[in-house]
Chains A and B, each alone.
Chain A
Amino acid sequence: MAEETKRKGKTAEEMALGQRNIGVAEFFAKNKHLLGFDNKRKALLTTIKEAVDNSLDACEEAGILPEISVEIIDMDNDRFRVIIEDNGPGIVKEQVPRIFAKLLYGSKFHKLSQSLTYDEPIMIEEKGEIKIIKIGEFVDQYCGSEEDKNIQNLNIKVPSFDWKNNKYSFNVVSHVIKHERRNEIVKINTNYGKSVKVTGCHSLFTLDKETFVVKEVEARDLKEGDHIISPKKLPEPKIKNEINLLKYLSYDDCKNQNWYVYCEKEMIQELFNDAKIMHKKKENDKSRKYYQFNLDDNEINILDESYKQYVKKGFLPLKLIKQLNLENNLFENSKIRSYYHGKIYDVPVVWPITENLMKFLGLFVAEGHTCKRQIGFTFSRYEKHFVKLVCDFGLDFGISSTVEERFEKNCIRVKLFGGIISVVLRNLCGHRAENKKVPSFVFNADKNLRQMFIDYLYFGDGHRSKRDDCLMHSTVSQKLANELNYLWLMQGVTSSMRKTKGGNLSVNCKPAYVTSIYGKDVDKTINFSCSLKKSHKENEFLLTKWLKENKLGALNENQEAYVKLLLNAEEDKKYSKEFFEEITNNSKFGYKLRHLIDNDILIESDNQFLLSKLGLKLQMQLKNILKFIDSDLSLLKVKSFEILDEGNEFVYDISVPEDENFVGGLGGISCHNSRGQQGIGISASVMYGQLTTGRASKVISKTSPESPAHQFELKINTSKNEPEILSDTIKEWNKDHGTKIQIDLEGSYQKGSQSVDEYLKETAVVNPHVTIIYTNPKAEQLIFPRATNISPIPAKEIKPHPYGIELGNFLKMLEVTSAKTVHQFLTSEFSKISDSVAKEVFEVSRILPRTKPKSIHHEEAEKILKALKSVKIQAPSADCISPITSELLEKGVKKEVNAEFYTSVTRSPEVYKGYPFQIEVALAYGGDQPSDKQANIMRFANRVPLLFQQGGCAVTKGIQSLSWKPYGLNQPNGSLPVGPLTIVVHIASVWVPFTSESKEAIAQYPEILKEIKLALQEAGRNLAKYTAKKKKVKDELKKRSHIEKYIPHLAIGLKEILDLDSADEEILIRNLKTILEMKRGKIESLEFDPTKNEEYDEDWASIGKDEVSDDEFSDDEDEPKTKRKKYEEDEE
């Protein structure tokens, strides 16, 4: 999200690029402008802003009417002590460091060297194909030197687990990151022989020992015997049913070969139609006709005679196909022809992925070798059945074979002839034993076919140890061993990997890699079976161990009953004995109950039973353990560490939005990359205070009337970015619950606009349910009392609305949905799509509603999206966002501005990028406001006042782009309107798109701009009615003053001409008045009455305004007014 918002100047990512060997402190110092700490004045404001926002959020979530006290104490020398106290729910000790003292780097800030070394393998899915690739190799494709690249559009995916259900799926990689190594590399070795090399501060995952919830842990904090999370089962990839041989052949492979692809003549003609025809003459030769193809900087000329041959016989040389870079799938129905000793060999271009192919490949990887024009297997006497398999396979593809029994060596040699197959197999499976690998398409094969490959690999190079009940595979290729482990993970089997010292087994003295599976896992193969029924599953072991530790395992045969019992009992509810009996369905229940009571799990009262605190804890643990067992995750025990401080100049990372993890390392381990976060939070203030004053911050928190208040002193360890609690003392605090923060920092206090005063006032305006008590550095206390007892409805999470959803997100949703049809997908995953709307969408897009979501491809998805946008769909429900409501907004403005006229508008919710948002606008016109200055703008986002970056904000742009003249205001071209006007704009949204981390301006999405304009227009029309009326009244008043003025002159004139006496003159004047005023009715008084607005509070309004400029206003206010009046009369 945040990456996509436009912003001026450098992004945090760009900033981070320029930084090397940087500490958190330095990082903070360099980026503080992005965080709202540009200058001392802003630092003070940002600190208060973050703290107050936190308090408001906490109270809202807890359903408490907030009462917030803000105190700033001037400590001289530009130092201030900021104390913010609320009556929120308080913070438990564990959360304190996380909230206050850890700079959580958003996805923009995670460059701080959380990374893997170059050669750590990771699993990726690119264009639907699974690859195991070294992370360095992968990242280097996109990053030259040290940098951070957005590759989201490439749609490369990696398996990552979802935080909610701990299940794996493939998710898009948003960024690849490469940077210089700055700290130590830790190699972590675990049981099952898996290992990963990461920088010391890179996070892996572990299971919390108390709660059994997955949490992150830094590599350097791991100890021997700790557990880290690894995948138990990798997600299913896109299944492929066939392979195209051409894909596995390069130009170099065929440039010297007489290989021909037989295909349709029409296609060849079509192909040559695109070529340029030209004539060329070579020395001593007549001019000949050529077909010319231009490829990049390469010209390929084909003789007309050759072309005629191609068309006549319907073939193309394979090397030409490769040269011209033709699409492989053009030749799906073709054959490749080669000649061996004059004999024709035809091989189909497309091979279906069959059981036989898998068996053959498995054997080949294990035993096969390739020569230039043949491949060979060597089997022992006992493997005769494989000889048949190989020969049969050859026959399927028209490859002839020879079988040669070598009695002296007790072996059988099988040879298959054909250059093509030899080259293809070499490319697929690797040349020579030490380079052997798993053919890449095997990962994309159906699960059973994959297993068939593994089985035959084990047949070839494997060893079945009945004694240990294990299946072993050894190879000298590390790559093969690693890939085999990943392959096992896809089968849901955690294999174990071991490196043997070279020399003993192998004549070549090379170390071998042994991949083994044990016990029940052997049953997962097709051709082998387990004999001992011995379990090695860490996950189930976890449960047994837990039951044992909690004295529940003692009654082994009844485990299930306890589990059931714990899971079904509800908190705080008393149960009868019968209830438990029912649950456990066991008549001999009494002694179990006794056991539970003896172990303080159940409490007995009045012959009823209640889960004790311990019981509740066990229940929670059990639930989490079961969830974990049910998940795609398993645990690995850390066996040893190695600290490597040499080599590895560069380290690498990739970023997966939301899940923020991926699978990497030898054998596959879950690796973490930091989670994104909107804004940076109060911790930045703690850091700033610490950097500028060196003092620790204090937090006092109380969570309930019964529990005592804790006071923590905390600092940030800047070298580690770790919170440090310096002290934790119990304090007497006369409050039921709440939090109090005290931060000392360097700042600068000023009144006027963009001040703390203004911020708090505006906060109070839009949060009428809050009481704020504010003491400024001059020890003046201001109280903003609560105006309503109704808390705003907290924003709810809703399903995305189809308007504004983007293709990328849509595709992702299609993939992860559990819906069985697209119809179900649309109606269940989006808000406001009813059955009938979905029907319409499918009619428009011409997609069958019963299509499986997973088989919807790019173009179809686009069609659906297009259709969604053309069909009329209800606006998203408003209850997910929390508007201020136009009445409250108007009320707030009345408090602030003493104007003649107020109007406000609340628009219905709209959507940008699938996020609903709502715009509210209020206008205050006339009154005290200066008429020769630009309109005053107040911006709010989710009830938070925005004081900075007015120029770059969508609100300002919206106001500027509107023409204000029709509403009775002046407006210099393209700028803000000029006149006695205050414009208030509030945007409420589940996700407000800010332009930067400091949350100061709203990004200019077209949908948002449009809504702002529409809201302003609506309010503007109300205003225009008023200004027009006002003008009419003004004219009328002018006329009336004319009567007063000129009647005497008319009388004087007549008196002079007719020599009248004064008495007559009086009569004339009196009569004239009656004559003229008789016709004019009463006029509505639209004169500004400063006392009419009862909400207005002068003291209140003056908060956050410069006192000095106030006086200036009133001084030059009178002068131009009278001047103007004169002028207007003169015009008459």
Chain B
Amino acid sequence: MNEVIKKIDEISKEVHDEIHKNSPPHLNVPVRALSNVTFNKMDGFFQINESVKKRTLTAATVKTFAQTVRMMALSKELIKADDTATKREAYYVSKNWGDARFTEQPESDAVMDDIEAMLGVNREQMGFIPGEHGGAVAGELVVIDVDFETKKELRIDCTRFGSGAYSIPSSVEHLKFETNAKFILAIETQGAFERLNKHNFWKKQNCILIAMSGVPTRSCRRFIRKLSDEKNLPVYVFTDGDPYGFGNIYRTLKVGSGNAAHINEFFCVPRAKFIGVTPQDVLDYNLPTHPLKEVDIKKIKDLIKNDPFIKQNLEWIEALKMMANNKQRVEQQAFAAHGLNFVMDVYLPEKIKNPKKWLP
């Protein structure tokens, strides 16, 4: 029997029995927040703590309680039928639950995350898949997928997309890889990715380019992790030089997020290294900058004070402090000030060669 179904049954049985005993049933939901994670230095990811929210049935919680149980029922049904539903689809399924329906998708997403944490599995295992796609891939890589109908192997050569790119699917567990590349370069913006792809940067440097388009999705994170683990490739990350690029994009890729703390173990890339843009680069390369906004400063302070990953890395604290002092942020595209191809002809090769200038 499927592990997930077993767990669902277990929890339900407990609730059922408690009701029969006329005592208020409860659900134990691990708290999913930065406050309830620690940075596991050994393995390099955010690990969820013991803190568990005991959600006892009361008049105030009865609605979410019922929704959670019904959502578990839906999950069980999906697994049994070996089907999947996107988060959006799950939301629409709830619409025929009458009074217990969700009004907005974030409500159903939150319930889903709770179940995930409760069961200690990821949502793909529960039959739910994210709606968004995971990221764009180009470079010296062949992805081996399976045709959904014929169950035959599909070989996808990521060098052959021209100015386009391979798109990471929402579920990556079944993929296999063939590659001779030396490293993976994860890029924050689609724009910077396209410039490098267009000029065949991957060919010159013999690497795999991946565009994250903001905070990397779970599948993107899992794809990079799986690829780098299986083929033993180093991962370099290239984002904007601002608190969001450091604290959200890079941090989430490397060690995971608070919200998905229960699955971070598999959904992060502890070996990722930050190559730029660092506050030091601004000085070294004389880059044009934008002033920091009030919210940016606040974010920096918050990162230094509260982020378990940043807190443990002096270099990051110094880099953030430097940014705060200079009151400057910089974008990936800023290198265009020295010529459109400066970033791939000069900056990236120099940085990749010089690990001293990276951030952990």
Contacts and interface: CB of A to CB of B under 8 A. Distances in A.
Contact of B19 (A1040, A1043, A1049, A1075): A1075
Q: Taking each of A1054, A1060, A1072, A1076, which has the highest tally of chain B beta carbons within 10 Å of its own beta carbon?
A: A1054
Q: Taking each of B58, B62, B68, B72, which has the highest tally of chain A beta carbons within 10 Å of its own beta carbon?
A: B62
Contact of A1042 (B22, B63, B69, B103): B63
A1057 B75 CA distance: 9
A1082 interface: no
Contacts of A1071: 19-20, 22
A496 B95 CA distance: 112
A871 interface: no
A1043 B69 contact: no
Contacts of B12: 1053-1054, 1057-1058
Interface string B46-70: 0000000000011110110111111
Contacts of A1056: 70, 73, 76-77
A92 interface: no
B66 A1047 contact: yes
A1054 to B, nearest CB: 5
A1057 B19 contact: no
Nearest to A1129: B99
B99 A1046 contact: yes
A1075 B67 CA distance: 18
Contacts of A1047: 62, 66
A1074 B24 CA distance: 10
Interface in B202-228: none
Contacts of B58: 1076, 1079
Contacts of A1045: 63, 99-100
A1050 interface: yes
B184 to A, nearest CB: 42
A1080 interface: yes
B59 A1040 contact: yes
Contacts of B57: 1050, 1072, 1075-1076
Interface string B91-105: 000000111100100
Nearest to B71: A1053
Contacts of A1039: 59-60
Nearest to A1050: B66
Nearest to B73: A1056
A1042 B23 contact: no
Interface residues of A, number: 27
Q: Taking each of A1047, A1050, A1052, which has the highest tally of chain B beta carbons within 10 Å of its own beta carbon?
A: A1050
B16 A1054 contact: yes
Nearest to B101: A1049
A1072 B19 contact: yes
B355 to A, nearest CB: 52
B98 A1049 contact: yes
Given A1046-B100, A1050-B65, A1057-B73, A1068 B59 contact: no
B22 A1053 contact: no
A859 interface: no
Contacts of B76: 1056-1057
A696 to B, nearest CB: 75
Interface string A526-556: 0000000000000000000000000000000
A1072 B99 CA distance: 17
Q: Is the contact region of chain A dominated by helix, strand, or loop, or is it mixed?
A: helix
Interface in B83-134: 97-100, 103
B62 A1046 contact: yes
Contact of A1053 (B9, B62, B73): B73
Contacts of A1075: 19, 22-24, 57
Contacts of A1079: 58-59
Contacts of B142: none
Contacts of A1115: none
A1037 to B, nearest CB: 11
Contacts of A1052: 70, 73
B181 interface: no
Contact of A1057 (B24, B72, B97, B100): B72
B13 interface: yes
Contacts of A1050: 57, 62, 65-66, 69
A395 interface: no
Interface string A917-958: 000000000000000000000000000000000000000000
A816 interface: no
Contacts of A1043: 59, 62
A1086 interface: no
Given A1049-B97, A1068-B19, A1076 B62 contact: yes
A221 interface: no
B15 interface: yes
B60 A1057 contact: no
B8 interface: yes
Contact of B15 (A1040, A1054, A1074): A1054
B100 A1130 contact: no
Nearest to A1043: B59
Contacts of A1132: 63
A1067 interface: yes
A573 B117 CA distance: 107
A1132 B62 CA distance: 11
Nearest to B62: A1046
Contacts of A1067: 19-20
Given A1049-B70, A1050-B69, A1075-B23, A1058 B99 contact: no
Interface string A1116-1132: 00000000000000101
Given A1071-B19, A1075-B19, A1075-B24, A1053 B59 contact: no
A1050 to B, nearest CB: 4
A1057 B9 contact: yes
A1126 to B, nearest CB: 10
A1080 B59 contact: yes
Interface string B6-36: 0011001101100110111000000000000
Given A1058-B12, A1130-B103, A1049 B67 contact: yes
B147 to A, nearest CB: 33
Interface in A823-872: none
A1130 B63 CA distance: 11
A1072 B66 CA distance: 11
A377 B357 CA distance: 126
Nearest to A1040: B59
A1046 B63 contact: yes
Interface string B228-265: 00000000000000000000000000000000000000
Interface string A1078-1102: 0110000000000000000000000
B62 to A, nearest CB: 5
B100 to A, nearest CB: 4
Contacts of B22: 1071, 1074-1075
A1058 B73 CA distance: 9
Contacts of A1046: 62-63, 65-66, 99-100
Q: Taking each of A1046, A1054, A1056, A1057, which has the highest tally of chain B beta carbons within 10 Å of its own beta carbon?
A: A1057
Nearest to A1068: B19
Contact of B59 (A1042, A1049, A1130): A1042
Interface of A: 1039-1040, 1042-1043, 1045-1047, 1049-1050, 1052-1054, 1056-1058, 1060, 1067-1068, 1071-1072, 1074-1076, 1079-1080, 1130, 1132
Given A1047-B62, A1068-B19, A1076-B58, 10 more contacts: A1052-B70, A1052-B73, A1054-B73, A1056-B73, A1057-B9, A1057-B73, A1058-B9, A1067-B20, A1071-B19, A1076-B62
Interface of B: 8-9, 12-13, 15-16, 19-20, 22-24, 57-60, 62-63, 65-73, 76-77, 97-100, 103
6 smallest beta-carbon distances between A and B, as pairs: A1053-B69, A1049-B66, A1056-B73, A1049-B100, A1053-B70, A1039-B59
10 contacts: A1042-B62, A1043-B59, A1046-B62, A1050-B69, A1052-B70, A1053-B70, A1053-B71, A1058-B9, A1060-B16, A1075-B57
